[in-house]
């Protein structure tokens, strides 16, 4: 098995993916600037919610981010053309890190995947062919790579789809609640399409097709007999998502991984017909063996284990959000509610006036329904009053949160001063309250509500 990992294969899939990767990141960088995404998330803000531990990135969140995304576009071109590739891809990954870890207001799982793939690409010889580097320095030019490089991408994609499948097996997805909420608010489609979106049968169809696609797409791509069917299904699935969900470059990014599921010689024949055909079936290579052993093996182990960490936490991750990120829990639920804080001056025990609007814009306030963001906000409020010379305690006075439009429940213990507790990525926080579900089943509860409404009308 170890020997097979180092078998020589044609490197066309890696080279083609490098080009796709550069184009996709170029579109992301230019689109973020052109569509004012950078302005909304970094420039027109008073503060921001970074990943916990990356608060130092707040110092860059001003007009500097225009430069970051501009340089990102330049680095993307370097990756695409294979010019100064190693420098370009490392620069691109670092620049994207500043954006990804610097804000959670517009969090998407594909931002995480783009960062991971950028990290992977830093270690791979993706410029060994069809690149300016290879033209300028023929000594680096190669038509082959070790088999494990292809396998790394396949395992990474498999992790994404496998955990996305597992996460969908919960009541609100299985009964169509999530897809109903998702499609009911779509007004960017023709009226005839809206009528279709509102049909229960269609909402259930999309819910179960989502499970089927995520669960079967990787095996279908790997099996020769179903590969082209899987490609067509991928095109339909991702283009549908692109149009209806408007999730940026992700559908096209996901499609780009398909090059690793075809036999290497087929990718070569399609994209590089003039390249001489070589048979590597009996050859192996020790190229990059050290990187494989000491970086990629631990990396893949982490990718397999990291998404299951929430199973060891108390309570439901849908409610607590603990270990929700970095776990491929994609498009699973809607979460509504805004936390309002009570600020007490420790010197005289008096309540101080504070409104979330003093520090946050509307979109940021809509994120005050996740425990980590609420905890961060408490620290920001403490610093806000510290600048005024006051030492304060901060409590989540009202923190009613609704999951998937169900009746809301209090999320945070209102008696806990959130400035006195620490955040941990590896354990449950007792100040996050258990979710209190209504005693009556939804059908009975809705019947009672309708009866009361009718009596009121009479």
Q: Any idea where the domains of the chain sit in the sequence?
A: 2-312, 334-457
N-terminal to C-terminal alpha carbon distance within the chain: 76
What is the structure's pLDDT at 438?
Answer: 63
pLDDT higher than threshold 60 for residue 458: no
| Residue of 381 and 191 predicted with greater confidence | 381
H helix or E strand, kind and range, residue 94: helix 85-100
Q: pLDDT, tens digit, for every residue of 115-128?
A: 999 999 999 999 99
What does pTM read for this prediction?
Answer: 0.92
Q: What's the CA gap between 232 and 225, in Å, rounded?
A: 13
| Residue of 187 and 304 predicted with greater confidence | 304
Confidence band of 439 (pLDDT split at 50, 70, 90)? low
In three-state secondary structure terms, 345 is: strand
DSSP per-residue string spanning 186-250: --SS-HHHHHHHT-HHHHHHHHHHHHHHHHHHHHHHHSGGGHHHHHHHHHHHHHHHHHHT--TTH
- In the sheet that holds 335-336, the strands lie side by side as 335-336, 400-403, 409-410
**DSSP summary character for residue 393:** E
Q: pLDDT, tens digit, for every residue of 359-369?
A: 999 999 999 99
């Amino acid at each position: 098995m170890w020997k097979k990992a180092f078998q020589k294969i044609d490197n066309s899939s890696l080279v083609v993916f490098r080009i796709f990767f550069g184009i996709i990141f170029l579109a992301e960088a230019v689109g973020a600037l052109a569509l004012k995404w950078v302005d909304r998330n970094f420039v027109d803000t008073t503060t921001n919610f970074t990943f916990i531990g990356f608060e130092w990135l707040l110092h860059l969140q001003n007009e500097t981010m225009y430069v970051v995304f501009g340089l990102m576009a330049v680095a993307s071109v370097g990756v695409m053309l294979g010019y100064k590739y190693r420098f370009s891809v490392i620069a691109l990954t670092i620049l994207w890190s500043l954006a990804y870890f610097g804000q959670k207001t517009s969090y998407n799982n594909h931002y995480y995947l783009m960062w991971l793939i950028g990290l992977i690409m830093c270690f791979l010889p993706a410029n060994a062919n069809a690149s300016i580097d290879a033209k300028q320095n023929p000594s680096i030019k190669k038509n082959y790579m070790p088999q494990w490089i292809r396998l790394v991408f396949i395992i990474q994609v498999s992790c994404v789809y496998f955990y996305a499948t597992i996460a969908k097996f919960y009541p609100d997805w299985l009964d169509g609640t999530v897809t109903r909420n998702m499609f009911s608010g779509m007004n960017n489609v023709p009226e005839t399409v809206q009528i279709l979106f509102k049909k229960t049968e269609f909402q259930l169809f999309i819910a179960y097709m989502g499970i089927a696609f995520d669960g079967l797409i990787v095996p279908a791509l790997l099996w020769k007999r179903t590969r082209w069917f899987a490609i067509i299904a991928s095109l339909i699935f991702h283009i549908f998502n692109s149009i209806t969900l408007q999730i940026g470059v992700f559908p096209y990014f996901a499609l780009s991984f398909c090059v690793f599921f075809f036999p290497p010689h087929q990718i070569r024949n399609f994209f590089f017909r003039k390249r001489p055909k070589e048979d590597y079936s009996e050859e192996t290579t020790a190229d990059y063996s050290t990187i494989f052993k000491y970086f990629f093996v631990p990396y893949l182990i982490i990718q397999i284990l990291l998404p299951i960490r929430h199973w060891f936490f108390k309570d439901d991750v849908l409610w607590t959000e603990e270990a929700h990120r970095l776990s491929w829990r994609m498009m699973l639920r809607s979460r509504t509610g805004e936390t309002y804080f009570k600020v007490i001056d420790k010197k005289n025990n008096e309540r101080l006036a504070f409104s979330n609007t003093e520090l946050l814009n509307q979109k940021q306030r809509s994120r005050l329904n996740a425990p980590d963001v609420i905890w961060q906000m408490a620290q920001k409020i403490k610093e806000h009053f510290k600048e005024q010379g006051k030492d304060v305690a901060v409590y989540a006075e009202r923190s009613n949160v609704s999951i998937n439009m169900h009746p809301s429940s209090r999320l945070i213990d209102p008696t806990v001063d959130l400035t006195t507790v620490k955040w941990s990525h590896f354990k449950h926080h007792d100040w996050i309250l258990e979710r209190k579900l209504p005693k009556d089943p939804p059908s009975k509860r809705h019947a009672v509500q309708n009866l009361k409404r009718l009596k009121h009308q009479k």
